[in-house]
Amino acid sequence: MEGSSSATFTDASITYNVATNGAGIYASGSVALSFLDSTLGYNTYQKTIDGTTMYGQTRYLAYYSNGYHYYTSYSYAGGLWASSGSTLDMDGSTVIGNVGYSGYGGLYLVGTTASFSDTKFYGNTASSNGGGIYASSSTLTISNTIFNGNRASSYGGGIYATSSTLKIWMCTFVSNSGSSGGGLFTSAGTTNLNRTTFSSNSATYGSGYYMNGGTTAMASHVFSSNSGTLGYRDMHRASGTLTIEMGCPINKYNFGRDLLDCYDCSSIYYPKDLSFDECEAWSALEYVGTQDELESAIMFDRTVELTADVSLNHAVAILGFESLTGVVIDGANYTVIGCCTTLLLAYP
């Protein structure tokens, strides 16, 4: 599809197609696409050279002109190619098993405005960047969407985005992989992450999220069980401006639990779990008897009263504070380094 045109797919299945660019769908130049409760799956690219059909095997096409040999490179999208001012809307749909042997996996978006809601990206594969989505100079709004088991040989198993604007809300990145940015990789641009979970993703650096420049704001995030290089398993901030907030409603607070495994994120400790569901109203006195309760209870100007001795089997992280380790016992007073507050931990 090219030029000013539009197409709407409802309860459709676009599967097992083979083409050069955008095996499932190709759209360029102010094309408006809409998917509702549809599936885009198991598509791959092909190229025919000298009568031989190749499936992702050829990186360069050679040709002869005016006495010279020329080589032209190809980059292909397995599922959908959208560019040059196109728009894309996906709601309740599935992008599954698409393969870009010499390029990008599920969706290839350049100069595109796209929105995704209640959509699933499963098992898409890219030989370069962007297993689930590759986005360049695009605007993406993504909500209630799952990226599961997508792979990229280079960057961004779930999503690779460069010079783009991303708004990601209530999404899950799980079991995605890449060399860097197993779940999400952003380069330049602006990213807003709210109430999003990164779990069991893998990469050498930034298994959950790799940030390379630009501006990122995160709130109510959860990182868990990501694997990779120690210090970079949850996230890696190579460059750029990063802000982290609780994301709680007014008059509710969550100072988080566990330490975010991101050596370059900040000079202070941040929690890896700032789940929105853990936001609670503030109270001056809190009773605790377990480590989880202690992690939820500690905040500014609050007295924590122990109902039992608490053995800290991992560090307690308080947003903006240093971490606490050791055993909290009867009658102990602890001063939190870097803050003005003394925490009175008293066993009744």
Contact 337, 322 (CB under 8 A): yes
Is residue 272, in this structure, part of any structural domain at all? no
Same domain (yes/no): 29, 144: yes
High-pLDDT (> 90) share of the chain, %: 40
Angstrom distance (rounded) from CA 125 to CA 160: 12
Counting the structural domains of the chain, the total is: 2
Is residue 263, in this structure, part of any structural domain at all? no
Domain boundary residue among 216, 245, 274?
A: 245
* Residue 176 pLDDT class (50, 70, 90 cuts): very high
Mean pLDDT confidence for 131-153: 96
pLDDT of 255 above 80:
no
Contact 69, 95 (CB under 8 A): no
Mean pLDDT confidence for 72-100: 74
Is residue 250, in this structure, part of any structural domain at all? no
Nearest to 214 by CA among 161, 159, 154: 161
What's the DSSP call for residue 221? Answer: -
Contact 219, 229 (CB under 8 A): no
Q: Which residue has the higher pLDDT, 44 or 118?
A: 118
Task: Please provide the average confidence, as pLDDT, over all residues in the chain.
Answer: 76
* Residue 316 pLDDT class (50, 70, 90 cuts): low
Angstrom distance (rounded) from CA 254 to CA 347: 24
* Residue 345 pLDDT class (50, 70, 90 cuts): very low
Q: Which residue has the higher pLDDT, 177 or 2?
A: 177
Same domain (yes/no): 103, 229: yes
- If phi > 0 it is left, if psi is from -120 to 50 it is alpha, else beta; for residue 206 that is left
Angstrom distance (rounded) from CA 328 to CA 324: 10
Same domain (yes/no): 301, 211: no
Is residue 273, in this structure, part of any structural domain at all? no
Mean pLDDT confidence for 183-209: 97
Same domain (yes/no): 206, 291: no
Q: What is the pLDDT of residues 27-57, one digit of tens each?
A: 665 678 787 877 775 565 544 333 333 333 2
Is residue 137, in this structure, part of any structural domain at all? yes
Q: What is the CA radius of gyration of the chain?
A: 24
- pLDDT reported for residue 311: 66
Query: Which token pair is 174?
Result: 């799980």
Same domain (yes/no): 134, 240: yes
pTM listed for this prediction: 0.75
Angstrom distance (rounded) from CA 41 to CA 46: 16
Same domain (yes/no): 231, 339: no
Is residue 254, in this structure, part of any structural domain at all? no
Mean pLDDT confidence for 136-147: 97
Find all residues with CB under 8 Å of 110, minimum gap 6, and list them. 82, 83, 84, 135, 136, 137, 138
Mean pLDDT confidence for 128-156: 95
Same domain (yes/no): 50, 194: yes
pLDDT of 319 above 80:
no
Q: What is the pLDDT of residues 213-229, one digit of tens each?
A: 999 999 999 999 999 99
Same domain (yes/no): 327, 230: no
Is residue 334, in this structure, part of any structural domain at all? yes
Weakest mean pLDDT among 52-61, 91-100, 158-167, 308-317: 52-61
High-pLDDT (> 70) share of the chain, %: 66
Q: What is the DSSP track for 281-324?
A: E--SEEEE-SHHHHHHH--TT-EEEESS-EEEEEEEE-TTS-EE
Q: Which residue has the higher pLDDT, 8 or 185?
A: 185
φ and ψ at 296, to 5 degrees? -75, -25
Same domain (yes/no): 166, 66: yes
Same domain (yes/no): 308, 227: no
φ and ψ at 317, to 5 degrees? -105, 130
Is residue 256, in this structure, part of any structural domain at all? no
Q: What is the DSSP track for 60-105?
A: EEEEEETTEEEEEE---BSSEEEESS-EEEEES-EEES-EETTSBS
Same domain (yes/no): 26, 88: yes
- Of 102-111, 115-124, 295-304, highest mean pLDDT: 115-124
Domain boundary residue among 191, 215, 245?
A: 245
Q: Give the domain range for residue 330.
A: 283-346
- pLDDT reported for residue 195: 97
- pLDDT reported for residue 190: 98
Same domain (yes/no): 204, 309: no
Find all residues with CB under 8 Å of 245, minimum gap 6, and list them. 217, 218, 219
- pLDDT reported for residue 151: 95
Domain boundary residue among 192, 227, 245?
A: 245
Number of other CB atoms surrounding residue 142 within 10 Å: 23
Q: Which residue has the higher pLDDT, 162 or 41?
A: 162
